[in-house]
């Protein structure tokens, strides 16, 4: 006897997917005239003509990582979309690029309308902050592939920069100063360790620490800051390097752009101490170097520039509403030193 089955019987809800695709198209209408064909087609088209004299396309991709597990535990999904956009948008501006457009990939075992709309609301908000257009993406429903009520996110971003304005660290000089721009907590890095610390210490995410202004879970879900405007505010000072402090902390992300025989000295006393990192340091009992190799420790972006431009660059960043501080300098040597 042959049993009649359809796609819905296998766990794939095509009708709901089409409904949500319609919602996505309506909720992400772009006012950017360069978007020729956006969400809804087989692919998206973006007009890059006349961008500049010698425009170079800059591209990157990233995800949110295991921070999503915190979102699952709290059933709160309206901020992880901001994280998704931020992780790529911040990498673009670290190269001196202006963000152009973004595409997302959402994969789940079972589509759930409310959760999907919350995720998209965050992605839309992130794109608005980053000044980029959400022009396409993909939603994949894969029954049996993910645990119940779980999903994964990936993002893809494209920007542009004039060839002679690419920021890659080649102009770093001995005596340069390092500016730190505040973070919004742990952003999207080090969450595998954070979750282990929570598990080992049997911490309730809905509980409060005395120094926290929110529950522990809410503090851990604070969305990654998007630094598009901060980077734009200092471009006239010709920064020698911009470093997005992500996985690998200060050592990997500053170390990767240093010229030979250059050392970045980070003065940790100059970085405002956020309660979350003080709490994580106490829970983990890690040495200082380990902490700064794992998390951003309060500085989500580092900018290296000439000493003569230091004060005015700091003022410009603060004028757009972000806290910035001098946190180090470049000297002869090799790598990154935490003091």
Residues 6+ apart with CB under 8 A from 189: 65, 246, 247, 249, 294, 295, 296
pLDDT at 5: 45
**pLDDT tens-digit series, residues 108-163:** 998 888 998 999 999 999 999 999 999 888 888 888 898 989 999 999 999 999 99
If pLDDT is split at 50, 70 and 90, which confidence band does 97 have?
A: very high
Q: What is the pLDDT of residues 72-81, one digit of tens each?
A: 999 999 999 9
Q: What is the pLDDT of residue 9?
A: 44
Own/partner contacts of 205-208, CB < 8 Å, gap of 24 or more, are 205/70, 205/73, 205/74, 206/74
Domain ranges of the chain: 7-165, 177-338
Question: What was the pLDDT predicted at 2?
Answer: 58
Q: pLDDT value at position 34?
A: 77
Q: Which fold has domain 7-165?
A: 60s Ribosomal Protein L30; Chain: A; (3.30.1330)
pLDDT band for position 213 (50/70/90)? confident
CA pair distance 7, 155, nearest whole angstrom: 28
What per-residue confidence (pLDDT) applies to 31? 58
Task: State the CATH class of domain 177-338.
Answer: alpha beta
pTM listed for this prediction:
0.89
pLDDT of 52: 82
Per-residue model confidence (pLDDT) at position 111: 86
- How far is 129 from 229, CA to CA, in rounded Å? 8
Q: How far apart are CA 335 and CA 265, in angstroms?
A: 9
CB-based contact 312:239 (threshold 8 Å): no
* Residue closest to 86 by CA, chosen among 251, 287, 223: 223
């Amino acid at each position: 006897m042959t049993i009649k089955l359809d796609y819905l019987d296998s766990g794939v809800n095509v009708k709901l997917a089409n409904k949500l695709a319609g919602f996505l198209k309506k909720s992400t209408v772009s006012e950017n005239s360069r978007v020729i064909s956006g969400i809804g087609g087989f692919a998206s088209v973006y007009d890059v003509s006349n961008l500049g004299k010698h425009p170079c396309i800059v591209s990157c991709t990233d995800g949110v990582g295991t921070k999503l597990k915190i979102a699952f535990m709290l059933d709160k999904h309206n901020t992880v979309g901001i994280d998704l956009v931020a992780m790529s948008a911040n990498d673009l501006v670290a190269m001196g690029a202006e963000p152009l457009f973004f595409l997302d990939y959402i994969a789940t075992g079972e589509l759930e309308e409310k959760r999907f709309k919350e995720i998209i609301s965050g992605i839309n908000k992130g794109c608005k902050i980053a000044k980029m257009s959400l022009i396409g993406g993909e939603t994949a429903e894969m029954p049996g592939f993910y645990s119940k009520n779980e999903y994964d996110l990936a993002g893809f971003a494209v920007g542009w920069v004039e060839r002679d304005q690419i920021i890659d660290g080649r102009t770093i000089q001995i005596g340069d100063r390092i500016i730190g721009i505040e973070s919004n907590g742990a952003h999207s890095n080090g969450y595998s360790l954070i979750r282990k610390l929570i598990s080992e210490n049997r911490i309730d995410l809905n509980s409060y620490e005395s120094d926290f202004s929110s529950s522990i879970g809410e503090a851990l879900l604070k969305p990654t800051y998007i630094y598009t405007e901060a980077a734009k505010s200092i471009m006239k000072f010709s920064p020698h390097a911009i470093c997005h402090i992500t996985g690998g902390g200060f050592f990997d992300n500053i170390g990767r752009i240093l010229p030979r025989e250059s050392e970045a000295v980070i003065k940790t006393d100059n970085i405002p101490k956020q309660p979350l990192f003080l709490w994580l340091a106490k829970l983990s009992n890690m040495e200082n170097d380990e902490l700064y190799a794992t998390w951003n420790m309060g500085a989500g972006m580092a900018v290296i520039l000439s000493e003569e431009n230091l004060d005015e660059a700091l003022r410009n960043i603060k004028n757009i509403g972000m806290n910035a501080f001098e946190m180090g300098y470049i000297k002869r040597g090799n790598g990154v030193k935490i003091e």
